[in-house]
Structure formats: C-alpha cells, structure tokens
C-alpha cells in the first residue's frame, strides 16, 4: 500500500491502469475527500490542495475539520482476551490503556516493517 502525508492527514494512493491515473482518498476521517493526477508530482500537489481546500471549506462554513485518529479507540474483544490482557497489564504494573497502547504500537511497528520489507 502506498501512502502520502501532509499537514497531519494521510491518504492511501492507488493506480488505475485503465484510466492511467493515480488517485487517492484521505484516510481516517468520515468526510470523503479524493484527488487524482497523471503523475506523482501532480498527485502530491493535488493531495496538498485537497487538504488545504478541506480545511478552508470547513472554516468558511463554520465546521471543525475532522482530524484523523483522535486517540480514542473502542472495540470489543472476547471476555477471555480481555481478562488475559488486564492480567498482563497488572503484572506489568501498567493500566490496561498503557499496556494496550504499547502492545498496539509494537504490532503496528512490526506491520510497517513487514510492509516495507515486502
């Protein structure tokens, strides 16, 4: 997967072989913001313009621009997984939030290394 980052926003980039264009969509927000271009330099410019336009449009209409990934995560796990995670956190002398953040950080880092190596 190819990505771009600008001003705290991230986009997933893909290539459409039929139309011979690169296209992207800003990730991590519910507002749908897409952009496209025929080459990488134009795509980067289009991405920056899309982010800047989004922020400017939100300002003009009095809406707070969404920021990707607020840091709040809510998900459900099997009760046994919850129990084991809480126990691991307690034994490590950490809150479940601290332990989960460290564990997720390690896993995300490993996934990034695998993706870069692939």
Q: What is the pLDDT of residues 1-20, one digit of tens each?
A: 589 999 999 999 999 999 99
- Ranges assigned E (strand) in the chain: 2-6, 9-16, 21-27, 34-37
Ranking 16-25, 74-83, 104-113 by mean pLDDT, the lowest is 104-113
Give the whole-angstrom CA distance, residue 73 versus residue 65: 19
- pLDDT value of position 71: 76
């Amino acid at each position: 997967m190819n990505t771009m980052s600008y001003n705290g926003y991230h986009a997933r980039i893909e290539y459409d072989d039929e139309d011979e264009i690169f296209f992207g969509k800003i990730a991590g927000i519910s507002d749908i913001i897409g952009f496209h271009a025929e080459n990488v330099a134009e795509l980067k410019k289009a991405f920056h313009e899309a982010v800047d336009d989004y922020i400017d449009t939100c300002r003009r209409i009095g809406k707070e621009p969404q920021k990707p990934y607020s840091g709040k995560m809510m998900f459900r796990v099997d009760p046994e997984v919850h129990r084991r995670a809480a126990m691991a956190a307690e034994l490590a002398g950490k809150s479940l939030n601290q332990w989960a953040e460290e564990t997720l950080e390690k896993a995300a880092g490993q996934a990034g290394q695998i993706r870069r190596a692939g």
